[in-house]
Amino acid sequence: MNVLRWSLLALALALAVHGAQAGRPCENQPLEASSVERGMALAESTARALDASGANVVVLARAGQDLSKYGLTYSHLGFAYRDPTPQGTTVWRVAHKLNHCGSAEAALYRQGLGDFFLDRPHRYQAAFIVLNPEAQAKLMPILRDNARVAAWHTPRYNMLAYPWAQTYQQSNQWAIETLAGAMEPAANTRRSAQAWLQLRGYEPTVLRLGALTRLGARATAANIAFDDHPNEKRFADRIETVSVDSVFAWLQRSQLGGAPVTVHPGAKLPATVAPKAELRAGA
């Protein structure tokens, strides 16, 4: 599929719960043609791999920021799910949480795969985990319902939000709390969703951030705060947060999902994905 067709498809499929252009760079600079081409190539490869997986709902990650100094590969995840069209086919949409241009406020969005990868990522690479059939079935109706998908959402955004507090919420944290609420009907608040995650063995990533680093980050970035972290951990330079890598490890450990599948622009179908149906352009 050529770049122009993918661009039009991404524009047509992007459906935000709020009307902003989620995930786009905040600076007033148009995307370079090469960035659009690489983003659309990654979207196409991802769509093919998702189609071939036979799944209806997956956890999809991108490498938006370079977190290699912390030993992390991916920075952001959301739920990709099949959505039927009036023409009788299906398209892949992504439900995820984004903050606004480095601010401390965030909202939930639905996007097409094209838009999901049009944000000048650090690396044009994606990965997804197919959730087990029970998790897929329970998540699907929530992802299609604006009210239900926002049930565990807190607009106050903190990139390093403490996983077991409710003052702030970062993007990956919203995703696993929503998954918890889908799996356990009694987990209908953020606090109870977090309790379920602890019970099921979720372990956050621990970042070692010294006092000067924390002070500099808090002074220069509106979307970073540390006041929700317990003093005994914060003053020991132990900052816990929800990373993509920790979520992927937990999904496998808890048997809520399978092994990650990595996707690159223009890549052939991953060896771990066996085609189960004829691939359709734009599906």
For the stretch 219-260, pLDDT in tens is: 456 688 999 999 999 889 889 999 999 999 999 999 999 999
Helix (H, G, I), strand (E, B) or coil at 202: coil
Domain assignment present for 279: no
Range of the domain at 33: 3-263
Domain with residue 164: its CATH number is: 3.90.1720.10
Domain assignment present for 272: no
CA proximity to 117, closest of 171, 172, 68, 62: 62
Q: What does the pLDDT read at residue 268?
A: 61
Structure confidence by residue, pLDDT tens digits, 207-220: 987 665 665 555 45
How many CA atoms within 13 Å lie on the side-chain side of 229?
Answer: 25
Q: What does the pLDDT read at residue 274?
A: 34
Q: What does the pLDDT read at residue 2?
A: 45
Domain assignment present for 269: no
CA proximity to 104, closest of 222, 208, 24: 222
Q: What does the pLDDT read at residue 3?
A: 41
CA proximity to 178, closest of 81, 264, 89, 266: 81
Q: What does the pLDDT read at residue 235?
A: 85
Which ranges of the chain have pLDDT less than 70? 1-31, 34, 210-222, 267-283
Main-chain phi, psi angles of 146, to 5 degrees: -60, -40
Q: How many domains does the chain have?
A: 1
Domain assignment present for 234: yes
Domain assignment present for 271: no
Domain assignment present for 141: yes
Domain assignment present for 235: yes
One-letter amino acid identity for 247?
Answer: V
Domain assignment present for 147: yes
